[in-house]
Structure 1
Amino acid sequence: MSSLKIACATVNQTPLDWTGNLRNIINAIENAQKPKVDLLCFPELAITGYGSEDLYLSYWYPQKALKQLEKLIPFCKGITVAVGLPVRIQEKVYNCMAIIENAELKAFVAKQFMAIDGVHYEFRWFTPWNANEVINFDFFGQPIPLGDIVFSKNSVSYGFEICEDAWRGDLRPGYRLKERNIDVIFNPSASHFAMGKSSQREDLVRNSSTLLNATYFYINLLGNETGKMIFDGEILVAKNGELLLKNEILSFADFQVRTFDYDKNRGRYPVIQSQHIKNEEFVKAASLGLFDYMRKSRSQGFVLSLSGGADSSSIAILVAEMVRRGIKELGVTPFLKKLGLVYIPQTEHPEKEILREIFTTAYQASDNSSYATFQSAKSLAESIGAKFYNWEISDEVKSYTEKIEKALGRKLTWEKDDLALQNIQARSRSPIIWMLANIQSALLLTTSNRSEGDVGYTTMDGDTSGSISPIASVDKNFILQWLKWAEIELGYNGLKNVNALQPTAELRPNENHQTDEQDLMPYSVIVEIEKLAIRDRRSPLDIYYILKEELGIDSDILKNYIKKFFRLWARNQWKRERLAPAFHLDEFSVDPKSWCRFPILSGGFEEELKSLEGE
């Protein structure tokens, strides 16, 4: 025999949910056993969940993972199962795949390279395994091989590259697997979602199948495990440089199993084509992220301060899409059950009915708010079915202002106290919207985007208040174009008023005609500067030379934009340190806890910015 029915299973796991995690794995195994799958592979660290952070450093946590593995083994009768978990050997912890064959533990394969870029911090927890090294590990009194090991079943040889292993170019373990003439290579991964990353993975899998002369299987974790990173649950298979299998990513299900009939002697398989739409990837990931965040935090819904502008409106649409997509995939009853809700819809339009139960919005008007933004917020909330309130905050602003004026012995004026008078409006909105969220046991959604995070264009303890910030890792330019796409492609007619408005904080008097881009610079310019400054870590002078050629902006104006960006960036690191947890959705972010670290106190790039003067 030289054929195998191979399956890959993605699972939505949660650290410390031992019962739920084990149940998902067992259910996936039983699903694979029905069509008599020979070999089933799960992602890395599937038993614990990838995002266990410093729990890996404890002695008890890896030990409990081994006990979960021991519980799992009896469920693997008549099938070979590969499943990921941490394994501690004395002072060191290794990221391993356990191989179980017909209810008997055969071996552990250890990861050889650690991810340390961007959101990854694996060297803090794990030790890389040495190539070609194998030891015996004491598994509750039974010696089990652990290390760099390959396997065979039905005359089909197979081995593993665990996530980061495959991204190490000429150093990757796959080349040694090729030297051993391995037929099938599995890549069990915990690779965070980012827009455009699925296309990169397809290239990796296709190229790997050619370079390593093997059929290459990729299996990723699924869902929002711990709040920030979202895993898309991607399953891919390639041979001879051609993509043969790809699942529907970002599923609301607890697990997915996809099967592939492998024949060592078969020359060609049907080739599939994939499609990558960035706007669609964004809404799928964010809506799944919201769904998992709500259910795993055991919250009863969401509350949003809906200003009628782009940021809060985009989040309102993401919540609506969470409900629409979740119901479409799971059905009404399973969707509600997963959220822990006992509500029973009474109408023929369950989406809007459910949305009204779990989503509350409020327009909080100050003296500087316009009727246009009120109408924008109201019409959008009503169009999607969200509960909508509106109230004035003028009395609160007046009360705070009068107290300070009395203390200082003078009147506050826009000429002298502009920033303070703007900020007190945003801060006055926070306590009451928090109160509403507390009453409803709901999550308060924060509306900051990445462009605002770059330059601190946000009021601390005001519009930064919240439990989760869904769009904080995407730039404002993307949000603006996505809203226009969502109006047309997703059919949200309630966005018509939103898309007609120019972005504004509406914190200065109306006659001031305040807009965000007048306060800062064009959002399109912020995007280009931040890519070079934050993603590529370029100096101010480098950025000037690059953008002078690319943007065609007057030299003095461009210099001023660059100076303003870097000064605001350096001045506002303390704000980024205090922003609400944010979904990681784009190729980079400004989150200092997961992607971009910067000193709170610094010289503010003054010498670097002076270098622009001579140019």
Structure 2
Amino acid sequence: MKIGVLQLNPVVGDLAGNRSRIAEAARRAAASGADFCVTSELALTGYPPRDLLLYEGFVDKARLEAEALASELADLPPLLLGSVVRNESGQGKPVYNCALWCEGGEIRKVVRKTLLPTYDVFDEARYFEPSPPGDPEANIIRYQGMIIGVTICEDAWNDKDFWENRIYTHDPLEEIGRHGADVIVNLSASPLSLGKQQLRERMLGAVARKYGVPVVYVNQTGGNDDLVFDGRSCGFKSDGQLMARAPGFEEAVMAVDITTGGTVAEDDFCREAETWRALVTGTRDYVLKSGFSKGIIGLSGGIDSAVTAVVAAEALGPENVICVLMPSPYSSKGSIDDSLELTANLGVKTLTLPIEPIMDAFTETLSEAFEGYSPDTTEENIQSRIRGNLVMALSNKYGALLLTTGNKSELAVGYCTIYGDMSGGYAVISDVDKTGVFGVARWYNDHVAPHIPEAIITKPPSAELRPDQKDEDSLPDYATLDAILALHIERHKSRDQIVAEGFAPEVVDQVLGLVRFAEFKRRQAAPGIKLTPRSFGTGWRMPLACKREL
């Protein structure tokens, strides 16, 4: 039996467009000899549809599009389609997350998702009712004399023999195993976090070995809001050996023979390579799916704006990127020269808007109100807000999306100016810490193109808002800062636990204090691309008005 894997990049809410994409891919799979096809989870609605699911009209239209798709593909092999259906029982949540078996022009069976994640970026219990208990055939499809076990994403992530700490007591795979399934398929919309594919492959391989049957996993690709989906759909033999893998970060249609396998696409799982591909994918899809075609970046001569610029040029094409230099009296000649060298290397449009005259106007206007006060960060923030206003004005005038350039380290400790450098529509590197930004820059120069001037990579980081300013005047060195932040944010370590790791108590107290104080800034930050197990996005749910005892 050959299974057609439809790894697509759906647009959330675009029911008609997604239907067309799925139909075209199903025809390609049929032409390659597929006996039936499988999409990713919620492929028809796009994932995650979030509060669109609260609207009955949207759910009803999804059902109509699913029925129309089944009719359209009546002469082709069956399609296992990820979509939604209403819960007509009158009990529980009004919608099911499901897989629809479309055969002979009709929807012949509905397989409902059982395990509904509510951690990190997931909030499925807000919308969906789990598969009702009591039906031993709930996750089984019988076709061509074979038993196909169907799971939807999380349903395959709870094997007691693989996970040391399981979230759920129930395991849908055990029910499928009792039926003697000949193959297990999994429809997924599994967002990227760095290194996750290796975990997926170990876990799915373990499932195949445990039940002694092939496993085929179908993931979506592309970016939706703050999430990036890396695709990498794959298949495993009954002994757990990888037998097929689709390319990462791109659409693909792949036929997987459950006995002999298929193509195993080459991949690069190093952290910098994954980060680069995710940033490009997330930026491209967010800009284009939001209805824009161009991006604007405020270019400072530093590493963060340089990496943002090279990502934008790759994602949108250099002809669609505008880099804006806004030098102040404190901007070094080196930073200006480095920025111009970078833009020349990339071939992007460049504008230079000196801000000294505007700074002078602010100084004059505020002179009486500021009388008796010494200069401090207020004046520094004014510079940043001038720049924010200028690039937002250009964004409005040109109809281009402003891409902010702050990294995760800065966002964590509030080393950024609200309504200044935080202004914009998408925060490209907001889940990449400063250490990671340097790593991506060097990887890019070595593996993509040597476009980032070496001086940008080697000079000490500085906001250049006062004479001879350096980031480490206000912060611990970035190696220390990033290590503490990773322990606290991604591994949920408390103050005392971090100190026990060998960090100076006063440094830990400084960093955690800055993290607490910056919460109001993060709440107002632009959405960004999630790369780590815990980013400052959908999955970060800290209170604002509180006293943290961590």
C-alpha distance after superposition, 1:431-472 (max 9, x if no partner): 111111222110101011111111100001110011101110
Counterparts of 1:205-224 in structure 2, within 5 Å, are: 205-224=204-223
Aligned-partner residue type, residue 245 of structure 2: K
2:483 aligned with 1:483: no
SS at the partner of 1:98? strand
Q: Deviations over 1:557-599 (max 9, x none)?
A: x1111111111111111000000111112222122xx122212
Q: What are the residue-to-residue correspondences of 1:145-156 with 2, within 5 Å?
A: 148-156=138-146
The structure-2 alpha-carbon separation of the partners of 1:238 and 1:401, relative to structure 1 and needing over 3 Å to count, comes to same
Alignment of 1:349-498 (within 5 A): 355=318, 357-410=319-372, 416-498=374-456
State the partner residue of 1:261: 257
- Contact kept, 8 Å, 1:112 with 1:131, in 2: the verdict is no
Shift of 1:169: 2.5
The aligned counterpart of 1:567 is 513
1:294 deviates by: 2.1
- The alpha carbon displacement at 1:534 in A equals 1.6
Match of 2:165 in 1: none
5 Å-filtered alignment, 1:4-15, equals 4-15=1-12
Between the aligned partners of 2:263 and 2:229, the Cα distance in structure 1 is 27
Give the whole-Å Cα distance in 2 for the aligned partners of 1:9 and 1:436. Answer: 40
Residue of structure 2 aligned with 1:503, choices 444, 453, 461: 461
Q: Which of 470, 478, 488 does residue 523 from structure 1 map onto?
A: 478
2:234 corresponds to: 236
Task: Work out whether residues 115 and 122 of structure 1, in 8 Å CA contact, stay in contact via their aligned partners in 2.
Answer: yes
CA 1:274–1:407 in structure 2 vs 1: closer, same or farther (change >3 Å)?
closer
Q: How far apart are residue 55 of structure 1 and its match?
A: 1.5
The one-letter code of the counterpart of 1:125 is: Y
Amino acid at match of 1:569: V
1:303 aligns with 2:296: yes
Q: What is residue 599 of structure 1 aligned with on the other side?
A: 543
CA contact (8 A) 2:117 2:154 kept: yes
3-state DSSP class of the match of 1:158?
strand
Cα 1:34–1:63 change in 2 (3 A) is same
- Cα deviation code 1:240-291 (max 9, x no counterpart): 111000111101xxx421001234xx7x999887541221111111112222
Aligned to 2:164: none
Alignment partners' CA distance in 2, 1:87 and 1:317: 42
Q: Give the secondary-structure state (helix, strand or coil) at the position aligned to 1:595.
A: coil
Q: Is the 8 A contact 1:449 1:471 kept in 2?
A: yes
Following the alignment from structure 1 to structure 2, what is the Cα–Cα distance between the partners of residues 433 and 369?
17
For 1:567, give the aligned amino acid. G
Residue 46 (str. 1) matches residue 4 (str. 2):
no
Percent pairwise identity? 28
Shift of 1:117: 1.3
Does the 8 Å contact 1:469/1:581 carry over to 2? yes
The secondary structure found in structure 2 opposite 1:406 is coil
Q: Is the 8 A contact 1:39 1:81 kept in 2?
A: yes
SS at match of 2:105: coil
1:180 aligns with 2:135: no
Matches of 1:420 and 1:274 in 2, distance apart? Answer: 48
Provide Cα deviations, 1:533-552, integer angstroms capped at 9, x if missing partner.
12222221111012x1xxxx
Out of 258, 273, 278, the residue aligned to residue 280 of structure 1 is 273
Deviation at 1:130, TM superposition (A): 3.4
| Structure 1 letter corresponding to 2:272 | N
Cα distance in 2 between the residues matched to 1:599 and 1:149: 40
Structure 1 contact 567–604 (Cα < 8 Å) conserved: no
Q: Contact 2:115 / 2:155 at 8 angstroms: preserved in 1? A: yes
| Alignment-derived partner of residue 588 in structure 1 | 534
Cα-Cα RMSD? 1.9
Q: Is the 8 A contact 2:148 2:183 kept in 1?
A: yes
Letter in 2 for 1:284: R
Q: How far off is 1:496 after superposition?
A: 1.6
Instruction: Give 1:336's aligned residue.
Output: none
- Displacement of 1:500 after TM fit? 2.3
Could you tell me how far 1:131 is from its partner in structure 2?
Answer: 4.1
Change in CA separation of 1:165 and 1:149 when aligned onto 2, cut-off 3 Å: closer
Tell me which protein shows more helix as a share of its residues: 1
- With 125-134 and 575-584 compared, the bigger mean Cα shift is at 125-134
Task: Determine which of 154, 165, 168 is the counterpart of 2:158.
Answer: 168
Which residue number corresponds to residue 249 of structure 1? 248
Letter in 2 for 1:525: T
**2:247 and 2:267 in contact (8 A); partners too:** no
Distance 1:30 1:477 in 2: 46
Are 1:243 and 1:272, in contact at CA under 8 Å, matched by a contact in 2?
Answer: no
> Can you list the C-alpha shifts for 1:215-238, whole angstroms capped at 9, x where unaligned?
00110112113x211112221000
Whichever residue aligns with residue 463 of structure 1, its letter is D
Q: Distance in 1 between matches of 2:327 and 2:15?
A: 46
Contact kept, 8 Å, 1:149 with 1:159, in 2: the verdict is yes
Is the contact made by 1:162 and 1:189 (CA closer than 8 Å) also made in structure 2? yes
SS in structure 2 opposite 1:514? coil
Runs of 4+ aligned residues of structure 1 deviating over 6 Å after TM superposition are 268-273
Q: Determine which of 498, 504, 512 is the counterpart of 1:543.
A: 498
- Mapped to 1, the partners of 2:122 and 2:24 lie a distance apart of 29
Q: Residues 500 and 539 from structure 1, CA distance in 2 versus in 1: closer, same or farther, beyond 3 angstroms?
A: closer
Matches within 5 A, 1:268-347: 275-323=268-316
Query: Cα distance, 1:92 vs. partner?
Result: 2.4
Instruction: Measure the CA separation in 2 of the matches of 1:374 and 1:563.
Output: 36
- Please state how far the C-alpha of 1:374 moved relative to its aligned partner: 0.6
Distance in 1 between residues matched to 2:327 and 2:49, nearest whole Å: 42
- The question of whether the paired residues in 2 share the 8 Å contact of 1:8 and 1:235 is answered with yes
- Which residue of structure 2 lines up, in the alignment, with residue 191 of structure 1? 190
1:331-385 Cα distance to aligned partner (Å, 9 max, x none): xxxxxxxxxxxxxxxxxxxxxxx51x31110111111110111111110011010
What amino acid does structure 1 have at the position aligned with 2:280?
Answer: S
Deviation at 1:604, TM superposition (A): 4.8
The CA distance in 2 between the partners of 1:562 and 1:524, in whole Å, is: 13
Taking structure 2 as the reference length, the TM-score comes to 0.93
Distance 1:318 1:269, change over 3 A: closer
3-state SS in 2 of match to 1:188: strand
Q: Which runs of 5+ in 2 are unaligned?
A: 161-169
- Looking at structure 2, the residues matched to 18 and 150 of structure 1 have their Cα atoms a distance apart, in angstroms, of 27
Rounded to whole Å, the distance in 2 between the matches of 1:271 and 1:442 is: 39
1:199 to partner: Cα distance: 1.3
1:417 aligns to what SS in structure 2? coil
- The answer (yes or no) to whether the contact 1:195–1:585 under 8 Å persists in 2 is yes
Q: 2:494 is aligned with what amino acid?
A: S
| TM-score, normalised via structure 1 length | 0.84
CA distance in 2: counterparts of 1:132 and 1:526, whole angstroms: 52
